[in-house]
Amino acid sequence: MSRSSINWGVLGAAEIAREHTIPAILAADNSQPYALASRRGVPSALVERFGFATGYDDYEALLADPAVDAVYLPLPNDRHAEWTIKAARAGKHVLCEKPAALTAGQTREAIAACESAGVLFMEAMMYQFHAQHARVRELIAAGAIGEVRGVHVNLTFNLEKSLADFRHGGLETGGGSLYDLGCYCIHVIRSLLGEPDRVATVARFAGPQAAEMSAAVVLGYDNGAKAGFDCGMDATPRHAYEVYGTAGTLRVPKAFVPQPDGDGPIDIVDADGNTTVERVTSHQYPNGVAHFADCVLTGRRPDYSPHDVLANMRVLDACIESLTTSRIVSLEKP
């Protein structure tokens, strides 16, 4: 593609789109907000607010627009695979909100549809585009904490009063904290320790639809590394992870929620308990949007590859299987 920017179509006006992704499209030099679709009618106020060229009251109509290069899908979880496949068949590149689908099987079908159509696919796991996480890996490689022994992740917020939110639904519709938050935690652990060999999950169910409101997961590795995370929609906000080793600990206290000023502190704790704080400034949503748009323009594969997306979903599948069977679930390497 010889142009310097791409035209984005957005399917749905969810909060994540309004508050983060559409503003990121506006902020990215290689992106233009071209079309917005909502099944509740043409979203005229949002079209005007964000400067979209056009609006639709039908998702299919947006996909049929030849001026749209790529689509962003912020739809409810159980519709991600369906509309990824429809967008691919319409010839649109796809940035799909996490989780990519409800199962690894669905994810594989969505990826295959994109590959068959010759379009790019990336899951919108945007936290990873904040530079603080690359700095964590640099510190580990430099021996700042010795040999890594384990990772712990905490990601919670309180959604108990918002009963109309789709996340209060059952696991069969993509509701619950594992789908909404656990996918992030799994990605952090995999990015630092690689693929786990087994997982075990416990959870709390509550509300009128008996939603999975919170979960705790242990991930085991044959090499002796250990990892764990807790995620929940029923507790005070927490969004941090720590990596501990033989000579210290790295703590990332603002790991997932975008900071308006881009602040990303890293606490470096040595073996004696002394703490040094590094601050990394970065903006994850504009970075992620710009990266995907650059891939569309240049034809290169996203750094967060479909293979990696599928591997993340395989672990999430195992967490849910462990929860529903009350057993430790073993994983084969992808």
The full 3-state SS of 70-120, as one line of letters, equals EEEECCCHHHHHHHHHHHHHCCCEEEEECCCCCCHHHHHHHHHHHHHHCCC
The residue whose two tokens read 């240049």 is 298
Query: Do residues 262 and 283 make contact, with C-beta atoms less than 8 angstroms apart?
Result: yes
Mean pLDDT of 76-94: 98
Instruction: For the chain, count helices (H), then strands (E).
Output: 11, 15
Mean pLDDT over each residue of the chain, to the nearest integer: 96
Q: Which residue has 């964590």 as its token pair? A: 136
Look at residue 320 in the predicted model and tell me its pLDDT: 98
Q: Is 249 helix (H, G, I), strand (E, B) or coil?
A: strand
Q: What is the pLDDT of residue 333?
A: 77
Task: Give the integer Cα–Cα distance in Å for 22 and 50.
Answer: 7
Give pLDDT, residue 2.
67
Write the pLDDT tens digit of every residue in 146-180: 999 999 999 999 987 776 777 888 999 999 999 99
pLDDT over 70 at 28, yes or no: yes
Q: pLDDT of 248-285, one tens digit each?
A: 999 999 999 999 999 999 999 999 999 999 999 999 99
Query: What percent of the chain is modeled with pLDDT above 90?
Result: 92
Say if residue 227's pLDDT is above 90. yes
Q: What is the pLDDT of residue 4?
A: 95
Binning pLDDT at 50, 70 and 90, where does residue 183 land?
very high
pLDDT digits (tens, 9 = 90+) for 102-133: 999 999 999 999 999 999 999 999 999 999 99
- Inform me whether the pLDDT recorded for 33 exceeds 90: yes
> Is 1 or 50 the better-scoring residue by pLDDT?
50
Percent of the chain with pLDDT over 70: 99
Regarding predicted confidence, which is higher, 332 or 330?
A: 330
pLDDT band, residue 42 (cuts 50/70/90):
confident
Is the predicted pLDDT of residue 67 greater than 70, yes or no? yes
Look at residue 244 in the predicted model and tell me its pLDDT.
98
Q: Is the pLDDT of residue 5 over 70?
A: yes
Residue 320 CB coordination number (10 Å):
23
CB 129 within 8 A of CB 256: no
Which of these ranges, 78-92, 155-169, 192-206, 289-303, has the smallest mean pLDDT?
155-169
**pLDDT at position 144:** 97
Which of these, 12, 21, 20, 65, lies nearest to 40 by C-alpha position?
12
